[in-house]
Chains A and B, each alone.
Chain A
Amino acid sequence: MTVVALVSSIIISIGSLAWGYAGVGFDIFARWIVIFGMIWLFTQWQGWGWFSSLGLFFVILLSAFGLWFGFTPGWLFSSSIFALFAWDMTDFHRRMRSMAKDDNMRGLERRHIARVSLLSLAGLGLASIAMLVRVQFTFEWGALLVLVILLGLSQLVGWFRRQSK
């Protein structure tokens, strides 16, 4: 089940991104994206889990560029979310290798996939709402966001330091 989810998420993610780029006439880019997707699939077949992090980074980077240049956001959002899904599945697949035959593999798989799917859907929904309810970027909004980022960063650093102790 995990492998099917992993492969399909890579295909959908790369397909969406390539479609998003091809839709605005960047056919050569789309072809390179498809080639990258094939490499990603090949690396997963070889068991090189680290490549999924590179894949996620690559997809987010291209999605961000696409959004910046004003491409159709739906394909790019879908591409990023499925890349996140694939990244998650890669690690889950690695963890699943630790399971013994008598462990409840099916149950754990089912719960995990359901949870990540719900999270992805919720993320996609929130992103879509954010796109619909467009807020004008004013200085106040920017300052608020910077404050939130700094607060989040400090919390994150504090949490990591506590963990390292």
Chain B
Amino acid sequence: MYRSIFLSTLVYALLLAGLITLRGELIALAIPFMLYLFFGFWSAPEKLDLLIERTLSIDRVTPNTDVVVTLTVTNHGADIEELLLDEKISPRLMFRIGSPRHLIRLTKGSSRTFSYTIAGPRGTYVFDSVNVTATESLGLIRREQSFATNKKLFIFPEVKRLKYVAIHPRRTRVYAGTIPARVGGTGTEFFGVREYQVGDSPRMINWQVSARHAENLYSNEYQQERVADVGIVLDARVRANLFHEDQSIFEHKVKAAAALSDAFLSQGNRVGLLVYSGYLGWTIPGYGKIQRERIMQALARAEVGVSSVFAGLEHLSPRMFPPESQIVLVSSLVNDDLNVLIHLRGRGYQVMVISPDPVKFEHKLLPASSQVDLAARVIRMERDLLIRRLERAGIQVVEWDVSIPLDQAIGPALTRPRRLL
């Protein structure tokens, strides 16, 4: 557009100069420019009638997996001399092969297909439109239009399979599952002995106890196994995630939350997710594959956030979780968190903390020196003290050195049965 204005101005300036000076040569000089302009206006592109379709080879992937994006453009309108297709794609995505920008000539009824390969880190990426700019061959007149092609690419965190995560919430749900329910009934773990009831299998009779009481028979009772409510809290506060030179431990936490939610859902539990960031991102509890998808989408979106309101964990309201359910906090812990967690524990929740070790994480990032070592020792002692206080309050804390894969580092600690409090 600016080009045509510039050229028009020159032409009129020449014509005016010719008129003022009464020199025909100046008007003759304007003729080639006028011809150029007229050709540009004459061949200006008409309203664009394009059909643009975009397909993704796969729309749910793990980080750095190649995804092939295919774009097909069909022209149902007049010939277009120059058609610039430009896709605005998140700068976080890397182009492995191909390009999202194409300049082509598209005749009436013809179609072109392009492909490019992208990969990227965890996140949700929206491919909502393709920007198209049509120009005539001289580039004087351009027509821009945006075509909606709604597609989403979910790059989910990598999920490490945890075989079994042992939890013991005080209250369970009515459906059969794998969590010890603290109620006698059918199951595999011995729970207690009660008087024989009509219908009890002879195999259940505890002959040793019955022998001591001549008037009655006694049957073994087993602990019922049911599903439970589990609330996973992902700590995404800046102060608990960013360390030396903006290196973040957050990705490790996301991986842990993904692995835990996958394990709990596989055990048949009802699982909810709370991302505690600059806001509270709450995924309502649910069961099964649909809930897994919801949680994975929430984890794909999760980002470290800063907020003066959510700087501490005070807003971790007990009302968000069913009473006496299991809460799993994935956090590297800061000293202020102690009271909040003890308060939750006091309200009857079983609290488990999966804590990626920030001291080891940051220590590896810093240059080796005696001062750094000393500082690390001091912080280590503070952290150990915090963890000991939490454990004394009945909170299970599992420390994770993030240099070791999650399943190897904390898998054994999680599967171990724990004393009921």
A-side residues, CB < 8 A to B, are 53, 56-57, 60, 63-64, 67-68, 73, 76-77, 80-81, 84, 88, 91-92, 95-96, 98-104, 107-108, 111-112, 115-116, 119-120, 122-124, 126-127, 130-131, 134-135, 137, 142, 145-146, 149, 152-153, 156, 159-160, 163
Q: For the complex, give the distance between the alpha carbons of A76 and B23 in Å.
A: 15
Q: What is the minimal beta-carbon distance from B5 to any residue of chain A, in angstroms?
A: 8
A73 touches B102 (CB 8 A): no
Contact B35 A92 (CB under 8 A): no
Asked if B29 and A64 sit within 8 Å, CB to CB, the answer is yes
* Partner pick for B31 among A67, A91, A104, A127, CB 8 A cutoff: A127
**A159 with B139: CB separation less than 8 A:** no
- Please name all residues of chain B whose beta carbon is closer than 8 Å to the beta carbon of A53 when the two chains form the complex: 6
If A67-B29, A95-B82, A149-B12 touch, does A108 touch B23 (CB 8 Å cutoff)? no
Max count, chain A CB within 10 A of own CB: residue among B5, B27, B103: B103
Indicate whether B19 reaches chain A with its CB closer than 8 angstroms.
yes
A80 in contact with B32 given A100-B114, A131-B25, A153-B12 (CB within 8 Å): yes
A126 CA to B39 CA, complexed, in Å: 14
Cα distance, A145 to B5, chains bound together (Å): 20
Contacts of B139 in A (CB 8 A): 88, 91-92, 95
Question: Is B8 within 8 A of A156, CB to CB?
Answer: yes
B contact face: mostly helix, strand, loop, or mixed: helix
Q: Are A67's CB and B23's CB within 8 A?
A: yes
B135-149 vs A: 1/0 string, CB under 8 Å?
101110000000000
Whole-angstrom distance between the alpha carbons of A24 and B114 in the complex?
Answer: 57
Which of these, A115, A130, A160, contacts B28 with CB under 8 Å?
A130
Are A134 and B24 neighbours in the complex by a CB distance under 8 Å? Answer: yes
Question: Are B16 and A149 in touch, CB under 8 angstroms?
Answer: yes
A95→B16 CA distance, assembly (Å): 33
Q: Provide the main secondary structure of the chain A interface.
A: helix
A64–B86 CB distance below 8 A: no
We find that the number of chain B residues with CB closer than 8 angstroms to chain A is: 45
Known contacts A88-B139, A100-B99; can you find 19 more A-B pairs with CB under 8 A? Answer: A64-B17, A64-B29, A68-B21, A77-B28, A91-B139, A95-B82, A95-B103, A95-B139, A96-B103, A108-B105, A111-B105, A119-B36, A120-B36, A131-B28, A137-B22, A145-B18, A149-B15, A159-B41, A163-B1
Are the CB atoms of A126 and B99 closer together than 8 Å? no
CA of A119 to CA of B103, assembled, Å: 23
Contact B33 A64 (CB under 8 A): no
A-B pair count, CB < 8 Å, reads 129
Given A68-B21, A68-B26, A95-B82, A84 and B105 contact (CB-CB distance below 8 Å): no
* Residues on the A chain within 8 Å of B3, using CB: 91
Tell me the nearest residue of chain A to B41, going by C-beta: A159
B137 touches A77 (CB 8 A): no
Cα distance A122–B33 when bound, in Å? Answer: 11
Of all chain A residues, the one with the shortest Cβ separation from B16 is A149
Chain B residues in 8 Å Cβ range of A159:
41
B344 to chain A, nearest CB (A): 55
Contact indicator B103/A108 (Cβ below 8 Å): yes
CB closest chain-B residue, reference A156: B8
Q: Closest approach, in angstroms, between the C-beta of B68 and any C-beta of chain A? A: 14
Tell me, rounded to whole Å, the shortest Cβ–Cβ distance linking A97 to chain B: 9
A146 touches B104 (CB 8 A): no
B14 at interface by CB-CB < 8 Å? yes
Could you list some 8 contacts between A and B, CB below 8 A?
A77-B29, A88-B36, A96-B103, A104-B105, A111-B105, A112-B137, A131-B24, A137-B24
Cβ-defined contact, A98 with B15, below 8 A: no
- How distant is B289 from chain A, measured CB to nearest CB, in Å? 39
Report the minimum CB–CB distance from A66 to chain B (whole Å): 9
- State whether B27 touches A123 (Cβ < 8 A): no
Q: Looking at the complex, which one of A57, A99, A123, A146 makes contact with B36 (CB distance below 8 Å)? A: A123
Contact A126 B29, beta carbon cutoff 8 Å:
no
Which residues of the other chain, A, contact B16 by a CB distance below 8 angstroms? 149
A96 to B, closest residue via Cβ: B103
Tell me, in angstroms, the Cα distance from A120 to B5 when the chains sit together: 19
Chain A residue nearest to B35 (CB atoms) is A123
Nearest B residue (CB) for A124? B32
B110 smallest CB distance to A (angstroms): 12
Q: A57-B10, A126-B32 are in contact. Are A98 and B103 (CB under 8 A)?
A: yes
How far apart are the CA atoms of A63 and B98 in the complex, in Å? 46
Nearest Cβ distance between residue A55 and chain B, in whole angstroms?
12
B360 at the interface (CB under 8 A from A): no
Once bound together, how far apart are the Cα atoms of A160 and B82, in whole Å? 21
Given known A-B contacts A96-B103, A120-B32, A127-B32, A142 and B24 have beta carbons under 8 A apart: no
Task: Name the CB-closest residue of B to A145.
Answer: B19
